[in-house]
Structures are given as structure tokens and as C-alpha cells.
């Protein structure tokens, strides 16, 4: 009997200790990407860094492959104050604050170094403040580079004219739709998870994506050519809830910001380092990866800035880059 009482007391102490160390704040992080994507290394680092440096006061759970719903669904949950964050591109935020859309515009920057300079500038801080006021979203960091977007087709492509009549999958944001039109194709909005089957069943003729995502979704099985237009340097951000973030003490807000920035750099470096290997693997699967002269595509997509009213925004970005 004494032993039973002692065991019961020990169990109670363990439960009390666990309760005492339970997190004060919980954050569920969503991504449409798979666990094999280099971005996930960054998300794992973010989780580990936040939990460690918050002294266990913040618990982070990761949900790959859109397990919490579409990116738009998670953004809506964040608006309501839920403890969620999602890795999204600027086009998804443009309906709330127009300026974010320019981050997904064609040939805005050259590679990660330039893009990182833009998304860590005072210009970006101003956009972040507008977003907080307009939609109740909070940017944790926006330096998550997923690579340059390339064309995925069934036939060779050298100029925009080669894409005439080609139905190309795109996200639904205006900047993506206009960019695909500028490339010469017919934009077809569609969730990323449906692209493989749509290509397989010929519901669409083409897609465009960065190498890690192309490999992760095994699109090399259903296309023949990857043409390296590099039309969009895909930068994304970890976006959560203003309501949730504002409940954090100032020291924990700093932890979340700092860890998100560090993890974004880790994820971006992992992405850059992985691209050559992904291309090698896809070539081995029979896909032809082709370098071309991108000047015709730079010229044909330049209209996107005027169509969407981004001309002045591009000038502001160029000022940050001292162009």
C-alpha cells in the first residue's frame, strides 16, 4: 500500500511538473511543401530555436503538405487571431496590401542576395505595418527564398511565341496571372497539390515552378522540358496573426523575429545548395533542362508592372538596390 501511495505521489509530481513547464503560447506552422523540401530545414530550425530561446514558453508544431488547409485558409485563421503561421509569397498578401504583390513580379531582382536586401529594408518594414493595420497579419520574417521559377512543358520553348495557346498552371494571385500571360501562355489557376494529376490527365499543358518544388511533387514524371527562364525569384514569408503576436511579451516577440530571420537564411542557403542536385536527378529521370536567352521573356513580361500599377513600386525597389 505504501508503495502504491508512493507511486501515485510520484506520478502526481510528474504531472504537476509537466503542467508547470507547459508552453504559455502555441504556434502551428503550415506549409504547402513536403518535409523533403529544403525549406523544411528552416522550419525545423525555427521550431527548435523558438522553443529553446523562449525557455519553453512557446511551443511550435510544423504541418507540411497543407495539412492545415490551403495557404489562404491558414491566412484567414491568422486574421481571426489563431496561433498559426504559414509560409506564403507576396501575391497572397497583395489583396490586403498592394505593395506585397511586387515581390512576385517578373525579373524584379537577380537572386537571393538582392531579394534579401529588399525584404529586410525599411521599405519592407513600412509594408509590414500597413499589413498589420489592414488585415491583422504579422510578418515574422520574409527572407525564405525558394528558388527561381522555371517553365515546365511538354515541348521545347525558346520564345514567348512558343507558349501561345498553352494552358499553364498558376496560383490565383493577379501578379502570377499577369506574369504567365506575359510569358505568352494562358494562365490556369489551380492548387499546387492538383498539378501532377492535371498534367497527367492533360487538363493543363504546362506549369512553372522552382526546382525543389518540381522535384518534391515529382512533376519530372509528367513533363518533358524544364526551360530556365528564371522569371520569378520566389521569396516567401512566415506570416502569422497580429493578435497572437501582440500577446507575446516583448522579449518573446524578439525571439520569434530573430529565429524566423535566422531560419529563413538557413532555408534559403539549403535551397540554393540543393538546386544543382535536383536538376541532376531530374535529368537522370529523362527531363531535358534547357538554358535559353531570357531577354525575350524579360521584354514580354515588362508590361506586368504597368498593368498592375507597380511601376512606382519597382522604382522604390530599385532605389533600395541602388540601381
Tell me the pLDDT tens digit for each residue of 252-261.
999 999 999 9
What does the pLDDT read at residue 119? 97
Distance CA 308, CA 177 (A): 11
Judge contact between 87 and 59, C-beta under 8 A.
Answer: no
First to last CA, the chain: 80
Mean pLDDT by 10 residues, the chain (323 residues): 41 37 90 89 97 98 92 95 96 95 96 95 97 98 97 98 98 93 97 94 97 94 98 97 98 98 97 96 98 98 97 97 88
Which pLDDT score is estimated for 33?
85
Whether the Cβ atoms of residue 216 and residue 281 lie closer than 8 Å to each other: no
Q: What is the pLDDT of residues 139-198, one digit of tens each?
A: 999 999 999 999 999 999 999 999 999 999 998 889 999 999 999 999 999 988 899 999
pTM: 0.88
53 membership: H or E segment, kind and range: helix 38-53
Boundaries of CATH 3.40.190.170 in the chain? Answer: 2-101+111-144+235-268, 150-232+278-320
Q: What's the grid cell of residue 296?
A: 525575350
The residue behind cell 507576396 is: 90
Residue 49 in 3-state DSSP? helix
Shortest CA distance to 216 belongs to which of 71, 33, 39?
33
Q: What is the pLDDT of residue 172?
A: 86
**Helix or strand holding residue 188 (H, E):** strand 186-189
Q: Which residues contact 51 (CB under 8 A, 6 or more apart)?
A: 23, 58, 59, 60
Task: Note the pLDDT of residue 34.
Answer: 85
The CATH code of domain 2-101+111-144+235-268 reads 3.40.190.170
Position 66 scores a pLDDT of 87
pLDDT on residue 323: 78
Q: Which CATH architecture has domain 150-232+278-320?
A: 3-Layer(aba) Sandwich (3.40)
Residue 65, pLDDT score: 87
Which residue do the cell numbers 525571439 mark?
255
Cross-strand bridge partners of residue 312: none
pLDDT at position 161 is 98
Amino acid at each position: 500500500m505504501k508503495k502504491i501511495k508512493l507511486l501515485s505521489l510520484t506520478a502526481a509530481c510528474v504531472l504537476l511538473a509537466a503542467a508547470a513547464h507547459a508552453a504559455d503560447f502555441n504556434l502551428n506552422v503550415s506549409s504547402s511543401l513536403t518535409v523533403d523540401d529544403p525549406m523544411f530545414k528552416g522550419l525545423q530550425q525555427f521550431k527548435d530555436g523558438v522553443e529553446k530561446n523562449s525557455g519553453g514558453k512557446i511551443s511550435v508544431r510544423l504541418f507540411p503538405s497543407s495539412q492545415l488547409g490551403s495557404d489562404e485558409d491558414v491566412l484567414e485563421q491568422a486574421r481571426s487571431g489563431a496561433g498559426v503561421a504559414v509560409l506564403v509569397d507576396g501575391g497572397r498578401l497583395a489583396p490586403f496590401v498592394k505593395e506585397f504583390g511586387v515581390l512576385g513580379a517578373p525579373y524584379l531582382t537577380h537572386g537571393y542576395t538582392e531579394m534579401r536586401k529588399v525584404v529586410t529594408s525599411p521599405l519592407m518594414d513600412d509594408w509590414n505595418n500597413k499589413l498589420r493595420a489592414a488585415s491583422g497579419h504579422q510578418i515574422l520574417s520574409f527572407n525564405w527564398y525558394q528558388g527561381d521559377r522555371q517553365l515546365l512543358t511538354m515541348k521545347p520553348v525558346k520564345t514567348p511565341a512558343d507558349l501561345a495557346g498553352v494552358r499553364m498552371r498558376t496560383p490565383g494571385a493577379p501578379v502570377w496571372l499577369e506574369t504567365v500571360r506575359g510569358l505568352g501562355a494562358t494562365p490556369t489557376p489551380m492548387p499546387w497539390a492538383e498539378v501532377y494529376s492535371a498534367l497527367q490527365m492533360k487538363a493543363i499543358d504546362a506549369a512553372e515552378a522552382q526546382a525543389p518544388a518540381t522535384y518534391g511533387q515529382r512533376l519530372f514524371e509528367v513533363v518533358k522540358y524544364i526551360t530556365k527562364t528564371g522569371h520569378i525569384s520566389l521569396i516567401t514569408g512566415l506570416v502569422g496573426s497580429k493578435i497572437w503576436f501582440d500577446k507575446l511579451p516583448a522579449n518573446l516577440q524578439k525571439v520569434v523575429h530573430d529565429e524566423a530571420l535566422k531560419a529563413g537564411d538557413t532555408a534559403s542557403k539549403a535551397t540554393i545548395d540543393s538546386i544543382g542536385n535536383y536538376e541532376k536527378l531530374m535529368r537522370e529521370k529523362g527531363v531535358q533542362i534547357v538554358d535559353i536567352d531570357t531577354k525575350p521573356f524579360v521584354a514580354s513580361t515588362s508590361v506586368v508592372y504597368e498593368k498592375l500599377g507597380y511601376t512606382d513600386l519597382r522604382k522604390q525597389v530599385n532605389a533600395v538596390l541602388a540601381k
